[in-house]
Structure 1
Amino acid sequence: MKKRVLIITYYWPPSGGSGVQRWLKFAKYLPEFDWEPVIFTPENPDFDIQDASLEKEISKDLEVIKFPIWEPYSLLAKLRGKKKSHPARIQEQKDHTFLEKIAIWARANLLVPDPRKFWIKPSVKFLLEAVQSGHYQAIITTGPPHSMHLIGKQLKEKTGVFWVADFRDPWSEWEFLDTLPMSSAVRRKHQKLEKAVLNQADHVLTISPSFQADLERIAGRKIDLLTNGFDSDDLPDDFKPKKFHTGQLHLVYTGVIDSIRDPRPILNAFREEFSQTGQNVKFTFVGKVSEQVREFVKNDPWLRDHVHFPGYVSHAEVFDYYAQADALVLILTTTKNAKGNIPGKLFEYLSTGIPILALGDPEGDTAKILKGSKGGKVVAAENRQGIRSSLNTLISGQFSRSNPEEIIHFSRKNLSKQLAEILDESTLS
């Protein structure tokens, strides 16, 4: 008999990004291990990235409960006389109006743990009867936004239901909070809420060994590691990596380029290594790219001719770009949480068998995975000569490719099996 698990998530298709894919894939494979997932998600969420193609991956048998949410961004938009925009995006602007400064301050000091806090109380009220009556054998909350965990916390307190809290990013030590004008009293409130969640959940999951170690230090308890992964079903049946030709190099980066992911070190090395050689080289950035980086390329005649920005494409279309690539590029964050930064797309990159060159911490969690899988290497962003040397290795065809046997444990199906084993503990009590 299948057991039912309620998954409480803010991000769900048509929202895009790795946070969506994590629970979309768990929902896909959990039924194979006797768990029937039910998704609880906002009816009218506000998110940056949309990918309607992900909606095709939702099984027709999957129950998705959509419940209205009120978020403060619409109020801010009325005051500003502009379209809906929240403080996280406003912050990226260089100059702020008086109202925008107030919005950022309010986000930091009044909206704790985040602007989705207004969904907590009505969601608990809506879900309580079903959880209380034993309709679900377990619940899962995934954050950020960490308000989702506070829904789980209240349901746990009121019903005793088996609760798994999934941390895709840190909470009180999350680098994003450092960018906000937050008072020390509010910071302590985040720490108190985080500790309550870590102590009360039956299991806590996170996505990287470094985040795992940090949460274990904060909580004083065992935290489970359940990384992101790849779904072999995503690879098109006719997918074939490009045949390598010496003297040609097409680098492909997929994903977001923003203030904490800076491609300029590799762009500089790319120009220095190849601008005088006449070799056939190209660099394609697929996805949302910051205006600063676009301007940087536009202002350099050689880069302008060799760097391309096709924009955001659907997840399905990304594989067309993989098939054209001689190497795939990862640009890791260089901020406080960088050591534990394992981009979700790392695992998809590995599944293609195409060599990977990453910029980031050579001792971080991503570097360890690449080394273990023989799928590529990580070079420090400030090591310009190291980047140039790696580019030279790539164009000469000497880079290693991932070993399928070394990455199979990162398959979404295998990870779902591990999650099911954790959920099975709910039936033992």
Structure 2
Amino acid sequence: MAEHSRVLVVSYIFAPVGGVATERCRKFVKYLRDFGWDPLILTQDLDETLRIRPVEIDHSTLDELPSDLEISRVYGPVFSAPVTARPSVATTPPIGGSLSSTPPLRWLRSLGSLLLSPDSFVAWIFPALLRGRRLIRERDCRVIFATAPAFTAFPLAALLSVVGRRPLVLDYRDPWGENGALFGDRRWKQRLNRLMERLCLRRSSRVVFATEGFRDLYARRHPDLAERFEVIQNGFDREPVAAKKPRGEREPLRIGYAGKMFGDQYPMEPFFRALASFVEERGRDLLRVEMAGQIDPENEALLAELGLGDVVELRGFQPREEVEQLQERSDVLLLVIGDMHPFFHGLESAKLFEYMPLARPILGLVPEGGAAWQLISRHQIGPLAPPSDVVRIRRVLDELVGRSASGPAVAPRQFHRRNLTGRLAGILDEVSRP
């Protein structure tokens, strides 16, 4: 058998960190050897990752990877802005203004935010650059592949491409400079990040986007580079699961969800209010919702306020095996993507593809007409409602309870992770040719 070529994979976080942030990269790594590429991982020190942010650790994520996979973990300090983070838009400042609005502190916050570009992990670049350069030389890596967010991985990978004289492939799970949600009203910071991003894009040989919407967004911003842009969507790699047996006449409809339950991207309040409306009018015995993952105190308090404690079961973070069992005992699988920011309309969500082989209808509370909405509609895999429209969500709940749940008979095979990795390997083959 021919010797594999090596690719240096740059990802700020990696297994055993679980969740959607590491899923895409981890699945590429799982299958790359099938196509003649041997991945080496360059990532942040795990202890530092655990220190600076609450992450989901799932050691089972390592079990599916090659036992001899080389993971190079490099410590890089993480800095925060010199004052507390900006309050959410729902926060009302105290009468007479707040300390954070005084000019000296506002300027200090602005300077700190400027220095922490593209993000608070930027100090990782220097030690990771030294390690990465050595790996390229000693392990003869032919290509550099970087995935983000965290977007610090992109300038690091661009620098490695320059010093190591290797082609660069960038993988966008989410937009960077075009993501207004990252910058709020700090237009100057967005301009700086767009400049950094432009330099990274120019250095790249290929750029991969997780959705067509993201690719189109960047093609409009960078028309001179659009020929480099490719789309490799998210996918699944579990075997199709048999459709769930029809529930009994007296059994409640079970809705399952595993993921984040906070922030603009995962707005749960409209769903909870629609659920409360349903329960008030039709009783408490027709629906049960089982949810695993992180939830913020506000949403947890809302559930108590709405009296849904016996209808919604919160299970906290669960390992992958437990999440799969939750999904398989559900009649319907919930997908939530917010619609507050324009770029959310381009999201398809890795969770959507994860649901496909389960043969359950997907309740899609996603931006109307957006990428996820179109995908669910095209493949006829579930009912849809805008995530902020309580009335329409309530209407969909009525429809689901009133009919027998059935999902797609066969998950579309083009979304299997192995097939998607084959496409990535083809790109690596192309850019590595002399």
TM bucket by the smaller chain?
A: 0.7 to 0.9
Correspondence for 1:83: none
Correspondence for 2:213: 210
- 1:102 Cα shift? 8.2
Number of positions where the alignment pairs a residue of Structure 1 with one of Structure 2:
412
1: CA distance, partners of 2:170 / 2:162 = 14
Pick from 248, 254, 257 the counterpart of residue 258 of structure 2: 254
Assess, with a 3 A threshold, how the Cα gap between structure 1 residues 225 and 190 changes in structure 2: closer, same or farther.
Answer: same
Correspondence for 2:11: 9
Instruction: Determine helix, strand or coil for the equivalent of 1:252.
Output: strand
Correspondence for 2:351: 345
Assess, with a 3 A threshold, how the Cα gap between structure 1 residues 133 and 276 changes in structure 2: closer, same or farther.
Answer: closer
Correspondence for 1:374: 380
Correspondence for 2:293: 287
1:156 and 2:161 matched: yes
Correspondence for 2:146: 141
Aligned ranges for residues 287-306 of structure 1 at < 5 Å?
287-301=293-307, 303-306=308-311
One-letter amino acid matched to 1:194: E
- 1:387 Cα shift? 2.1
TM-score under structure 2 normalisation?
0.87
2: CA distance, partners of 1:4 / 1:246 = 57
- Of residues 137-146 and 367-376 in structure 1, the stretch that sits farther from structure 2 once superposed is 367-376
The answer (yes or no) to whether the contact 1:51–1:315 under 8 Å persists in 2 is: no
2: CA distance, partners of 1:51 / 1:282 = 28
2: CA distance, partners of 1:178 / 1:189 = 11
Structure 1 residues 85-118: Cα deviation after superposition (integer angstroms, max 9, x where no partner):
x959x87995898699788645532211111111
Correspondence for 2:22: 20
Correspondence for 1:69: 76
The answer (yes or no) to whether the contact 2:243–2:360 under 8 Å persists in 1 is: no
1: CA distance, partners of 2:99 / 2:4 = 54
Structure 1 residues 164-207: Cα deviation after superposition (integer angstroms, max 9, x where no partner):
0111111112133233x63x443221111111111220000111
2: CA distance, partners of 1:411 / 1:132 = 34
Instruction: Determine helix, strand or coil for the equivalent of 1:11.
Output: coil
The answer (yes or no) to whether the contact 1:361–1:378 under 8 Å persists in 2 is: no
- 1:240 Cα shift? 6.5
- 1:227 Cα shift? 1.4
One-letter amino acid matched to 1:347: F
The answer (yes or no) to whether the contact 1:367–1:377 under 8 Å persists in 2 is: no
Correspondence for 1:57: 64
Unaligned runs of 5+ in 1: 81-85
One-letter amino acid matched to 2:118: P
- Aligned CA RMSD, in angstroms, stands at 2.7
2: CA distance, partners of 1:101 / 1:330 = 38
Instruction: Determine helix, strand or coil for the equivalent of 1:328.
Output: strand
Aligned ranges for residues 14-163 of structure 1 at < 5 Å?
14-43=16-45, 44-45=48-49, 46-52=52-58, 53-73=60-80, 87=85, 105=110, 108-132=113-137, 135-163=140-168
Aligned ranges for residues 329-408 of structure 1 at < 5 Å?
329-334=334-339, 335-405=341-411, 407-408=412-413
2: CA distance, partners of 1:134 / 1:31 = 16
Assess, with a 3 A threshold, how the Cα gap between structure 1 residues 404 and 339 changes in structure 2: closer, same or farther.
Answer: same
Assess, with a 3 A threshold, how the Cα gap between structure 1 residues 101 and 305 changes in structure 2: closer, same or farther.
Answer: farther
The answer (yes or no) to whether the contact 1:199–1:219 under 8 Å persists in 2 is: no
1:228 and 2:231 matched: no
Structure 1 residues 395-426: Cα deviation after superposition (integer angstroms, max 9, x where no partner):
12355512425x21111111101101111113
1:326 and 2:328 matched: no
One-letter amino acid matched to 1:207: A
The answer (yes or no) to whether the contact 1:286–1:312 under 8 Å persists in 2 is: yes
2: CA distance, partners of 1:315 / 1:418 = 26
The answer (yes or no) to whether the contact 2:360–2:405 under 8 Å persists in 1 is: no
The answer (yes or no) to whether the contact 1:246–1:396 under 8 Å persists in 2 is: no
TM-score under structure 1 normalisation?
0.88
- Of residues 292-301 and 122-131 in structure 1, the stretch that sits farther from structure 2 once superposed is 122-131
One-letter amino acid matched to 1:324: R
1:426 and 2:431 matched: yes
- 1:304 Cα shift? 2.9
Structure 1 residues 344-377: Cα deviation after superposition (integer angstroms, max 9, x where no partner):
1111111211111111212111112112222113
Instruction: Determine helix, strand or coil for the equivalent of 2:158.
Output: helix
The answer (yes or no) to whether the contact 2:28–2:421 under 8 Å persists in 1 is: yes
The answer (yes or no) to whether the contact 2:75–2:127 under 8 Å persists in 1 is: no
- 1:256 Cα shift? 0.4
Q: Could you tell me the percent identity over the aligned residues?
A: 23
Structure 1 residues 136-187: Cα deviation after superposition (integer angstroms, max 9, x where no partner):
11110111121111111112222331110111111112133233x63x4432
Assess, with a 3 A threshold, how the Cα gap between structure 1 residues 207 and 61 changes in structure 2: closer, same or farther.
Answer: same
Instruction: Determine helix, strand or coil for the equivalent of 1:39.
Output: strand
One-letter amino acid matched to 1:409: Q
One-letter amino acid matched to 1:59: P
One-letter amino acid matched to 1:357: L
2: CA distance, partners of 1:175 / 1:242 = 44
